[in-house]
Amino acid sequence: MIKKFSSWLYRVSTGKRALFSLLCFVVFSALILPGQSAGAEEYSADVGSPDLSFFYSAEELYNMAEVYGEEGREAYIQARFTFDLLWPIVYMIFLTTAISWLFVQAVPTYSGFRSMNLIPILAMLFDYLENISTSLVMWRYPEKIVGVADIAPIFTFLKWTLLTVVILSLVLGVVFRIRRRFKR
């Protein structure tokens, strides 16, 4: 079933769709992300945000919750369940479509690398798990929820690790496309 879904993504990921998803990604990044970043900076007081950290501990997450204050925690939760419901979908569609379009002719159908087009979906899922767990910590602060603050950093780490793999795959896909064009 997973292989069929990956194959379906290869069939539907045309150059036009990849370009349209890139356009959506760029517009979202240019128009919405700066406002979200500015809003987050207001309450983060230089302690950062779990969403933008690669590594943090449960203790650091609780420290962020304390520094944010009640208003900052509410703003954080609101952002996770408004803006951050859409953003992972936008980047997932772009990355999935782009990888599928770039790899379709460059990677043989029998290669395991063809399933690289599914990694953005996993990254999106870990992003949502991160949002849920960090929001629970912010919502219940100062009360501690056993295990939630401990697992949130794992979700964040996995999200960023998978997105790093995806970016490297995109670069590799562009190299494949350029190399193929010059071979002709």
Write out the DSSP string of 25-80.
HHHHHHHTHHHHHHHHHHHHTTS--GGG-SS--HHHHHHHHHHHHHHHHHHHHHHH
Cα separation, 159 vs 179, in Å, equals: 30
Whether omega before 153 lies within 30 degrees of 0, making that bond cis, reads no
Residues 95-125 pLDDT 10s: 999 999 999 988 888 888 889 999 999 999 9
Between CA 103 and CA 116 the distance in angstroms is 9
> Domain map of the chain by residue range?
2-45+55-183
User: Which carries the bigger pLDDT value, residue 3 or residue 92?
Assistant: 92
Average pLDDT on 86-94 reads 97
Three-class DSSP category at 125: helix
pLDDT at 69: 94
* Rounded Cα distance, 176 and 180, in Å: 6
Single-letter amino acid code for the residue at 109: T
DSSP category for residue 112: G
- Is this model's pTM higher than 0.85 or not? yes
Question: Which amino acid is residue 159, in one-letter code?
Answer: K
Which is it for the CA torsion 63, 54, 52, 121, positive or negative? negative
DSSP string covering 168-182: HHHHHHHHHHHHHHH
Token pair listed for 125: 């899922």
What confidence tens digit (pLDDT) does each residue in 7-63 have? 999 999 999 999 999 999 999 999 999 988 888 888 887 888 999 899 999 999 999
Contact in structure between 26 and 99 (CB atoms under 8 Å): no
